Amino acid sequence: MSKLGNLGARLHRGEISYDFVGKRKIWYGVSILITITAILGLAVRGLNMGIEFQGGAVFTTPVKMSTSVAQAEVFAKDASGHEAIVQKLGNGSLRIQIAGIDTGKSDQIKTKLAQDLKLNPEKLAADLVGPSWGEQIANKAWEGLGIFMVLVVIYLAIAFEWRMAIAALVALIHDITITTGIYALVGFEVTPGTVIGLLTILGYSLYDTVVVFDSLKEQTKDITKQTRFTYSDIANQSINGTLVRSINTTVVALLPVAGLLFIGGGFLGAGTLNDISLSLFVGLAAGAYSSIFIATPLVADLKEREPAMKALRKRVLAKRAQAAVGEDLADARGTAGDESDDNAPAVVGPRNQPVSRNRGRGRTSGKRR
C-alpha cells in the first residue's frame, strides 16, 4: 500500500506520468469495439424485461419444495402456455415468474400449477401485474433517465463549460450502452432494481469524471500565458494526478458489489440481488474506464480545436523545437571539444621557464635599477 501511495504522490507531482491523452485513439477504438458488441447483443438477443415492465404473474410456493427448478419450469409452461422463469430462493421456496399472460386467466393458471406441484391452491401465493401498469413504469423509467441526462448537461455547462458537458454526456451514454448490452448478452432480467442500479452508476461515473474536470479547470486558468504545456499536456497531468484516487475508489466500490453479485446471487441463490448488483458491477467498471479514457481525452480534442489553443500549441511546439536544436548544438560542441582535446599533440621534454622569473637574481636587494 505504501508503494501505491508513493506512486500516487509521484503522479500528482508530475514526476512520472502515462500518456493517456496522447494514446486516445487506442482508447476510442477499444470503446467503439465494446459498444458495437453491446449494440449487437441488444439487437440480436434483446433485453429480458421483467413482469414489472411486461405484465404477468409471480407465483411463490411454500418453503422446502421437493420439486426441482427444471420441473417447475415445465409445469408453469404447461399451465400458462408461456415460458417461465423459476428461481429457488434461500428458504427453499420457488419463485415462478410468467410474463405476458392475461391476468384474467391467473386463477386458472394458479389452479393447474398447484395441481402439478401437488399443493393446495391457497398455499400458492400469486402477485399479478397488468401490462398497462408495466408499460407505464417503463415509460416513466425512460423519462426519468432523459431528465437526468438533461440536468447533468446543464449543470456541467454552467459549472465548467459546454465541452466538458458534452464529454460527460458521451461518457454516460457509453456506460449505459455497455451495461445494457451486458444485460442482453448475459440474459439477466431487467427490473426496477436494474433501473435503480443504472441511475446509481451514472452518478458514480459523473463523480469520477467531475473530479478530473475540476483539476483540469484549476490548472488551465491562465494556460495561454505560458509556453511550456499545451491543453492536452495539462489534461494528461490532471488524469495522472487523480489516477490512484480513481483506482482506489473504484476497487473499494466494486468489492461489496462483487459480494452481492457472486456470493449473494450465485452461491446463496438470492436472484433478486442480481437485478441491481450486475448493473452496479458493470456500470462502476465502465464508469471508471470512461472517466479516464474517454471523457477527459474527448475534452482535450474539443479544446484543441479552439483558435487560442491552436496558437498555444504552435508556440509550445516552436519553443520545444528551439530547445531541441539548442541541446543538439551543445552536444555537438561538447563532442567537438572532446575530439580536439584528444587530437592535440602531447608535450614531450623539459619545459622552458619564463624569463621574468630569473630577473633580479644576483643583485643585493633584488630590486630593479
Interval 203-225: pLDDT, tens? 777 888 888 898 888 888 888 88
Strands 94-99, 189-190: pairing kind: unpaired
- Distance, in Å, from the CA atom of 86 to the CA atom of 79, rounded to the nearest integer, reads 14
Of the CA atoms within 13 Å of residue 271, those in its CB half-sphere come to: 18
105-109, 151-155, 175-179: least confident range:
105-109
> Is the Cβ–Cβ distance between 277 and 261 less than 8 Å?
yes
Whether the per-residue pLDDT at 1 is higher than 60: the answer is no
Distances (CA, A) of 54 to 130, 134, 198, 275: 8, 5, 19, 16
Average pLDDT, integer, range 334-343: 57
What confidence tens digit (pLDDT) does each residue in 71-93 have? 888 888 888 887 787 877 767 78
| Mean pLDDT of the chain, nearest integer | 79
Residue 265 vs residues 17, 257, 259, 262, 269: alpha-carbon distances, Å: 40, 11, 9, 6, 5
How confident is the model at residue 364, as a pLDDT? 46
Choose among 10, 299, 352, 359: nearest CA to 164.
299
Q: What is the pLDDT of residues 116-174, one digit of tens each?
A: 888 888 888 888 776 666 677 778 878 888 888 899 899 999 989 899 999 999 998 99
- Pairing assessment for the beta strands 94-99 and 56-60 based on DSSP bridges: antiparallel
The mean-pLDDT minimum among 27-31, 321-325, 360-364 falls in 360-364
Spell out the alpha helix ranges (H) of 45-83. 51-54, 69-80
Phi and psi angles of residue 87, each rounded to the nearest 5 degrees, phi first: -125, 140
Residue 349 has pLDDT above 50, yes or no: no
CATH number 1.10.10.10 is the correct assignment for the domain at 56-129: no
- Asked if the model's pLDDT at residue 353 lies above 60, the reply is no
Query: Which pTM does this prediction carry?
Result: 0.72
Can you give the pLDDT at residue 361?
A: 47
Percent of residues, the chain, with pLDDT higher than 70: 80
Position 246 pLDDT exceeds 50: yes
pLDDT at 301: 92
Of 101-105, 192-196, 330-334, 352-356, the range with the lowest mean pLDDT is 352-356
Q: What is the CATH number of domain 2-49+133-314?
A: 1.20.1640.10
pLDDT at 366: 45
Parse the chain into domains and list their residue ranges.
2-49+133-314, 56-129
Query: Which of 148, 134, 126, 115 is CA-nearest to residue 61?
Result: 126
Place of cell 448490452: 181
Question: For residue 347, what pLDDT band results from cuts at 50, 70 and 90?
Answer: very low
Cell 452496479 found at? 280
